[in-house]
């Protein structure tokens, strides 16, 4: 039986994004697959008084089961209240939906927001698919994120060797004809822990670490001029913090030359019309680095709670850092 997100205490992105664009901050969109990630996200959002988007990919649904994840999101609302937040602002969002049927299924089971990612399709096909999802979603007061332009790297099953920046001259036509509520754009970010190849970077002579090329802020500003106040989304925005990579590698991990988006650039983007910033890899890294360290230091321990507790703590610390020091969404509830 279909259920509305409103019955679950969730909210859509409409008001949240309008406030974020006006206030010059961005809403964190954190992916989750496990209970520990969900708990860490809620604890961080409550402690910092931040609205938050909890997002679920197709892969997460396959891994954890769609029904379980939906109930976990409902549980997240109740958990936030239990932690002392009387009116949590939590969105349950489908990340990288790749078909009308998947988006409809999520809407029918209580998601408050969906992404339809038609970015790999020809322009007119992207418009037609996005509009079909928007027409259904809006009947249920569910908000829709669309994507225009292609990110380099792997977008679920869609692989793209190069990044095709969003063309500013297309955004008015696309937003008007689809009726989408927000637009994910390509300005140089990409998914995963290897956002740039070493040959795209320079090396810091002091540390020897790779320094990535800057994001295409000129493209972002062009888009902002075309669509004043329209909510813009950045995918692939993990920073791949060096201290976590160092811990990961110190305990038998192998992530040489991993490189993410510098936080100063995300801070700058948050002040613009960019009002949703997607972070998944940093959470994976925080979790796995902590687990590697714990298991190496405690070789006789075998109770998962023993190593998942520091993993959860480390993710919570990272989420709080993003909210307060990068996106600026704290103290908004
Ligand atoms: O954009 C992709 C997200 O990081 C989700 O990744 O499909 O492996 O769950 P996933
Ligand atoms: P990262 O891989 O940079 O965390 O990006 C996540 C993302 O964009 C999810 O849609
Ligand atoms: Zn993404």
Structure confidence by residue, pLDDT tens digits, 20-76: 999 999 999 999 999 999 999 999 999 999 999 999 999 999 999 999 999 999 999
Q: For the residues 265-270, what does the mean pLDDT come to?
A: 98
Average predicted confidence (pLDDT) for the chain: 95
Helix axes 100-108, 123-139, angle to 10 degrees: 20
Counting ligand 1 atoms within 8 A of each CB, the residue from 59, 63, 120, 240 with the most, and so the one to mutate, is 59
Looking at the CA of 95, which ligand is closest?
2
Looking at the CA of 150, which ligand is closest?
3
Structure confidence by residue, pLDDT tens digits, 96-131: 999 999 999 999 999 999 999 999 999 999 999 999
Does the Cβ of 236 fall within 6 Å of ligand 2?
A: yes
Task: Note the pLDDT of residue 156.
Answer: 39
Domains, the chain: 5-327 (3.20.20.70)
Atom of ligand 1 nearest to the CA of 63: 9
Task: Note the pLDDT of residue 210.
Answer: 87
Identify the DSSP state of 325: I
> 302 Cβ partners below 8 Å, 6+ apart?
none
Q: Residue 95 catalytic?
A: yes
97, 115 in Cβ contact below 8 A?
yes
Q: Which helix (H) or strand (E) holds 95?
A: strand 90-97
145 CA distance to ligand 3 middle (Å) = 11
CA distance 173 to 265: 28
Counting ligand 1 atoms within 8 A of each CB, the residue from 28, 34, 53, 57 with the most, and so the one to mutate, is 57
Q: Which residues line ligand 1 (CB under 6 A)?
A: 31, 57, 59-60, 95-96, 156, 191, 280
Task: Note the pLDDT of residue 59.
Answer: 97
- pTM for the whole structure: 0.96
């Amino acid at each position: 039986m279909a259920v509305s997100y409103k019955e679950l205490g969730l909210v859509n992105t409409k008001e949240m994004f309008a406030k974020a664009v006006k206030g010059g901050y961005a809403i964190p969109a954190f992916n989750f697959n496990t209970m520990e990630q969900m708990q860490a996200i809620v604890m961080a959002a409550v402690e910092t008084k931040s609205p938050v988007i909890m997002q679920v990919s197709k892969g997460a649904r396959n891994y954890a089961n769609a029904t379980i994840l939906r109930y976990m999101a409902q549980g997240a609302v109740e958990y936030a209240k239990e932690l002392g937040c009387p009116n949590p602002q939590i969105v349950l969002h489908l990340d990288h939906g790749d078909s009308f049927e998947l988006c409809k299924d999520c809407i029918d089971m209580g998601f408050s927001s969906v992404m339809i990612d038609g970015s790999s399709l020809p322009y007119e096909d992207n418009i037609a698919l996005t509009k079909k999802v928007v027409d259904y979603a809006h009947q249920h007061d569910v908000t829709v994120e669309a994507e225009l332009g292609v990110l380099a790297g792997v977008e679920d099953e869609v692989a793209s060797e190069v990044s095709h920046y969003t063309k500013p001259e297309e955004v008015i036509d696309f937003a008007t004809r689809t009726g989408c509520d927000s637009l994910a754009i390509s300005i140089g970010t990409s998914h995963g822990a290897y956002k740039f190849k070493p040959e795209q970077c320079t090396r810091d002579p002091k540390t020897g670490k790779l320094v990535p090329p800057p994001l295409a802020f000129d493209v972002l500003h062009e888009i902002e001029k075309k669509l004043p106040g329209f909510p813009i989304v950045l995918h692939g925005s993990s920073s791949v913090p060096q201290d976590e990579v160092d811990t990961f590698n110190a305990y038998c991990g192998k992530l040489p030359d991993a490189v993410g988006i510098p936080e100063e650039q995300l801070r700058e983007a948050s002040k613009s019309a960019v009002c949703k910033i997607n972070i998944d890899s940093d959470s994976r890294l925080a979790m796995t680095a902590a687990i590697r360290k714990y298991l190496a230091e405690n070789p006789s321990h075998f109770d998962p709670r023993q190593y998942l507790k520091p993993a959860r703590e480390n993710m919570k610390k990272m989420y709080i850092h993003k909210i307060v020091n990068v996106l600026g969404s704290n103290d908004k509830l």
